[in-house]
Structure 1
Amino acid sequence: MSQNLFADMRAHVVEALSDLLPVLTPEQLARVEVTPTRDPAHGDMATNAAMVAAKPAGRNPKELAQALAERLAALPLLSAAEPAGPGFVNLRLSPQALLDQIPVILTAGEAYGDGDAGAGVAVNVEYVSANPTGPMHIGHCRGAVVGDALAAVMAKAGFAVTREYYVNDAGGQVQALAWASYWRYLEALGSPITPEEFDAAAPSGLQYRGEYLIPVGQALRAALGPILATPDLGIADPATWFETVRDLALDMMLTEIRTDLELLGVRQDVFSSERKLLDSGAADVAIATLAADGLIYEGVLDPPKGKTPDDWEPRPQTLFRSTDFGDDVDRPLRKSDGSNTYFANDIAYHADKIARGSAILIDVLGADHGGYVSRMKAAVKAVSHGAVTLEVVLCQIVHVMRGGEAVRMSKRAGTFVTLRDLLDEVGRDAVRFTMLMRKSDAQMEFDLDQAVAQTRENPVFYVQYAHARCRSVLRAAAESLGATETTPEALAGADCAALDDPQELALIRRLIAWPRLIEGAAMAREPHRVAFYLYDLAGEFHMLWNKGRDDSTLRFLQADDAAGTRARLALVAATATVIRSGLMVMGVTPVEEMR
């Protein structure tokens, strides 16, 4: 028996359906599904097999469901198979089939739920990719957690995952960073130039004056002294200092970002530099490749929506035929001055990821990039000749709240909540779990009070508490029965026949849903499903715990019932195993005890 009972049952359903209707094609059989029932009163699973097969086979779906149910009812896995509705078949697992999964879980350990749905397909998940021009803030935090958890879910489901950070170390924002860092350098030297005088002399677009740049200026002063300034500590020719200041500032900001990511428990396998990519001429190569395929032309775009003839200047541009690939308008690759657009640079970057062997590209982006999705999907389809797909996961804004009021708690940044501040306030586990308690494309409120509360309303506490309770039971059992009797290997051999209470069976049903949950979350690119599942699993365990307080026969440790004790310890150990497996995917600590 495999870990995934839903996959096993689907194989049985397909076999039975093929016997009944040999005329069905593999494509038609591929549409067969076995899913949980919406109402547990109707059974554990349901299949659409009769409805899928009825039309191509020319059969009545209700009659076909009846015939299919009669065949499936003979399976040892099932205690019942009944036709329902317009052609579904409801399936109820036998109690023994449920109990047989406990040793499967204990034998697999935290690897329970590992699957092969991904079939080793190479996936590149790019996330965070914050401009290295300042501290990471809470908006970056959500994308970091979602991307990291998605990568973990897909790896567990059998995909070959590469986690990537694209360092935007080129363009106007980096120039602004260099100039702002140079101002902090002059400030560290004690320059008499005022901020207003500096602004008047510097190019427009200076955006960064946060206190986080003070250390950059001080580092420049410590390393180089006054040599980057004029003798009177004024502004020197940018040609003499720009690259030095830019490179040091970028290096310090990236060090800060890497530290923040480490504190958050987020890791990436690859850090790609935009500047290195562009310096290699990759954007020009990408444009030339599209041109060779006949996908580039010189043209004039229609005015954007909302523009009037008075404020629109039509001009010839180098355009990509993105409408050939589903976009709503062709997109410029070069500006009228001959320089490449940001879009052209992004095409080059995605072409680079494709060249490195990725079959699926997933970009985790802020919701403000929503308008960029269609053109990038078109570009990826074009440069890969349809062989590679781009998927985009959008993360909506996060509002930090305390006592029902919005919070601005950053000392260094001043205008936004930094990731470091949030981690200092509530800790990594609460940040990660809370970020995954809403679907990424839904706006969310991060309630600081709730994130530290020791109540059911705090999901990370509720789940960690369930794991801690499991571990507490197992420690107590080890003291009374001996450590060798309470190992997963020993408990995997327990006779679980004593587990017949409805709440015990409900908990087992929740446990066996984990492999299917992982597969579904991976295929739908929805890591928040893991958080929801763990919260529900914790609820089932807490209910059994509380029921045992009222009914002594359900208590986990019973001096006069050795067999029942071993059975219940096996269930507790299996529950702890699945919670750990889920928390590891989420990057959250499975604590041993609550303080």
Structure 2
Amino acid sequence: MTDLHISKSPVQRALFAEFAAVIDAALNALETAGTLPGGLARGAVTTEPPRDPAHGDLATNAAMVLAKPAGTNPRALATALVAELEKDPRVTAAEIAGPGFINLRLVPGAWLDELGLISALGADYGRSTVGGGSIVNVEYVSANPTGPMHMGHCRGAVVGDALASLLDFAGHKVVREYYINDAGGQVDVLARSVHLRYREALGQDVGAIPEGLYPGDYLVPVGQALAAEFGDRYAAAPEADWLVLFRTRAVAAMMDMIRADLALLGIHHDVFSSEAELQAAGKPAAAEAWLREHDLVYDGQLEAPKGKVADDWEPVELPLFRSTRFGDDQDRPIRKSDGSWTYFGADLAYHFQKAETADALVDIWGADHAGTVKRIKAAVAALTGAQGKPKPFEIKLVQMVQLLRDGQPVKMSKRAGTFVTLADVVREVGKDVVRFTMLTRKPDAQMDFDFAKVVEASKDNPVFYVQYCHARVCSTLRKAAGEGFAPNAAELALLGDEELALIRLAAQFPRIVEGAAAAREPHRIAFFLYDLAAGFHAYWNLGNDRPDKRYIVADNPALTGARLFLAAQVGQVVRNGLAILGVTAAEEL
């Protein structure tokens, strides 16, 4: 094989990154020659596959995005750039398309080298340093500590956890954080609900659970534990004697339950931040003082509510954050009239705390919190940007999931305390099915989760389709080993156009990782894996009609070894992608 190892950089990079560097070097050469002015921003220059594979192997928009700032014609710049790119021995043709796009065609050896790189890097193929070690705080789940996890929390939990893994794989240092909302009125309601169960455990007839308390049976063990510890000490005691104690014990019990539920999904947070502890430490007051010092909080009156104003409405002077300076619709109160913190005031202080130790922040929220996005973004911009550039902060909204059984909605009642828990679903269909399914649509799109369809063995079920791809690879390698064959990279030049097309598909993984990390969109990995699985299955199906296209060709050991090597590397890429998503790569189905 003469073209397998044509060019090596000191540190071998994935092919798309390698050619991004080649294009960058060609632009440097044009600067040196005076064809291109120096100092032009190149951040918008891309290296990617052409939309139509018939147009070539790689495409770049370099001439298109640099021509205007360079004061030249895109095709003229493209012509000069093509002359530089054609000097690379891996480039067989560099063609100008349309107004100035450049399509590159590469020798097969360039793609065969990439197959060898997948093998050499193994589980690290696709891993990137683009994050530069910057610290990203990803806060996700953060469900109120008033009960077990239910399916309303599941999607955000999976999206957040997969995003954290993706950012880590892309070279960031990631802090996985859970914010415990344990300072609001809902935890007092929880304490009162537990006190009722405590009295019940002591043998009292508490009757029906009163309206406004949490009715779920999951509080029964908490009440029993308190009864065993304290006897009837608090049975008839005034609320002031037991509220704080019962609240603390109840929240701790709920968080133990939540951690256990999340563990079933393979989710473990690094940090659990308590809103109650935040307030006890005076963090909101410190944030307010800092904001006043920077003229970002003032004492003023809220505008009257729009529409018909209630007869008892009176203007009240409150400390207001100047969120309109940062794109919000109106300035927002950080304290209530009684001096207690608003939800916004507490959240503002919490984000202030996170920003002290992170370079960037990402929050995963349910779509029902969309109305508060502007104000908290304004707050973070203010808190992190007053003395410099604001720290990057993104909020990803996640739509609810509708549960179905055979196409019919599963009925739930929050009032009656009947809902489908996350633990129930994981035990029924498995962690891997739940995690992958949650990433098969963009998080801001509505999703149906049909218990029958998510375990269906068909192409229409992305979970099965991707898992089956990996299982097929494993099955093929086992069968080959039984017949005396093994993957062999010595004769990769025997691979033809169909095999090269599959390599081109697998080779996109590193750029998909970087793009998904930059966009904070882990679902892109799931989409890529489905496409790669489709390519693998399509090639497999060729062998159904053409025995010469099968992975194992008994009378051609050299070709068999090369195809098995290809299959093994496709399997490696699938494993790497599934690992980011927190999904096990099945070896048999």
- Which of 4, 12, 35 is the equivalent residue of 2:22? 12
- Kindly indicate whether the alpha-carbon contact (under 8 Å) linking 1:359 and 1:387 is maintained by their aligned counterparts in 2: no
SS class of match (1:215): helix
- Kindly indicate whether the alpha-carbon contact (under 8 Å) linking 2:215 and 2:417 is maintained by their aligned counterparts in 1: no
Instruction: Identify unmatched segments of 5+ residues in structure 2.
Output: 1-7
SS class of match (1:100): helix
Question: Structure 1 residues 49 and 39 mapped into 2: Cα distance closer, same or farther (>3 Å)?
Answer: same
Alignment of 1:73-84 (within 5 A): 73-84=86-97
What is the match of residue 542 of structure 1?
537
Instruction: Find out whether 1:440 has 2:450 as its counterpart.
Output: no
Instruction: Find out whether 1:215 has 2:225 as its counterpart.
Output: no
Instruction: Find out whether 1:477 has 2:480 as its counterpart.
Output: yes
In 1, Cα distance between equivalents of 2:53 and 2:90: 17
Shift of the alpha carbon at 1:79?
Answer: 2.6
Instruction: Find out whether 1:419 has 2:425 as its counterpart.
Output: no
In 2, Cα distance between equivalents of 1:581 and 1:470: 14
In 1, Cα distance between equivalents of 2:338 and 2:431: 47
* More off after superposition, 45-54 vs 435-444: 45-54
Shift of the alpha carbon at 1:110?
Answer: 1.3
- Identical columns (%): 53
* More off after superposition, 137-146 vs 419-428: 419-428
Q: Deviations over 1:509-554 (max 9, x none)?
A: 1110000000000000111001111111111111111112222222
What is the match of residue 247 of structure 2?
246
Alignment of 1:177-326 (within 5 A): 177-195=190-208, 206-230=212-236, 236-308=237-309, 310=311, 312-326=313-327
- Kindly indicate whether the alpha-carbon contact (under 8 Å) linking 1:81 and 1:92 is maintained by their aligned counterparts in 2: yes
Shift of the alpha carbon at 1:247?
Answer: 2.0
Q: Letter of the aligned partner of 1:210 in structure 2? A: G
TM-score by length of 2: 0.93
Shift of the alpha carbon at 1:15?
Answer: 2.1
- Kindly indicate whether the alpha-carbon contact (under 8 Å) linking 1:380 and 1:390 is maintained by their aligned counterparts in 2: yes
SS class of match (2:334): strand
Question: Structure 1 residues 367 and 409 mapped into 2: Cα distance closer, same or farther (>3 Å)?
Answer: closer
What is the match of residue 373 of structure 2?
373
SS class of match (1:30): coil
Alignment of 1:47-126 (within 5 A): 47-126=60-139
What is the match of residue 329 of structure 1?
330
Question: Structure 1 residues 135 and 410 mapped into 2: Cα distance closer, same or farther (>3 Å)?
Answer: farther
Question: Structure 1 residues 302 and 552 mapped into 2: Cα distance closer, same or farther (>3 Å)?
Answer: same
What is the match of residue 3 of structure 2?
none
In 2, Cα distance between equivalents of 1:33 and 1:245: 58
What is the match of residue 233 of structure 1?
none
- Kindly indicate whether the alpha-carbon contact (under 8 Å) linking 1:163 and 1:269 is maintained by their aligned counterparts in 2: yes
Q: Letter of the aligned partner of 1:5 in structure 2? A: L
- Which of 555, 562, 568 is the equivalent residue of 2:557? 562
Q: Letter of the aligned partner of 1:590 in structure 2? A: A
- Kindly indicate whether the alpha-carbon contact (under 8 Å) linking 1:28 and 1:52 is maintained by their aligned counterparts in 2: no
Question: Structure 1 residues 513 and 294 mapped into 2: Cα distance closer, same or farther (>3 Å)?
Answer: same
Instruction: Identify unmatched segments of 5+ residues in structure 1.
Output: 200-205, 231-235
Instruction: Find out whether 1:354 has 2:355 as its counterpart.
Output: yes
What is the match of residue 521 of structure 2?
526
SS class of match (1:131): coil
Q: Letter of the aligned partner of 1:585 in structure 2? A: I
Shift of the alpha carbon at 1:12?
Answer: 1.5
* More off after superposition, 215-224 vs 514-523: 215-224
Question: Structure 1 residues 158 and 307 mapped into 2: Cα distance closer, same or farther (>3 Å)?
Answer: farther
Shift of the alpha carbon at 1:244?
Answer: 2.5
TM-score by length of 1: 0.92
Shift of the alpha carbon at 1:128?
Answer: 0.4
In 2, Cα distance between equivalents of 1:189 and 1:114: 57
The number of residues matched between the two structures is: 573
What is the match of residue 203 of structure 1?
none
* More off after superposition, 65-74 vs 460-469: 65-74
* More off after superposition, 11-20 vs 429-438: 11-20
SS class of match (2:448): strand
* More off after superposition, 85-94 vs 574-583: 85-94
- Kindly indicate whether the alpha-carbon contact (under 8 Å) linking 1:410 and 1:418 is maintained by their aligned counterparts in 2: no
Q: Letter of the aligned partner of 1:273 in structure 2? A: S
Q: Deviations over 1:291-346 (max 9, x none)?
A: 11121111112124445374643211111111222222111111122222121111
Shift of the alpha carbon at 1:211?
Answer: 1.7
What is the match of residue 5 of structure 2?
none
Q: Letter of the aligned partner of 2:491 in structure 1? A: D
Q: Deviations over 1:397-453 (max 9, x none)?
A: 110112221113799974432211211221111110110001011111112111111
SS class of match (2:493): coil
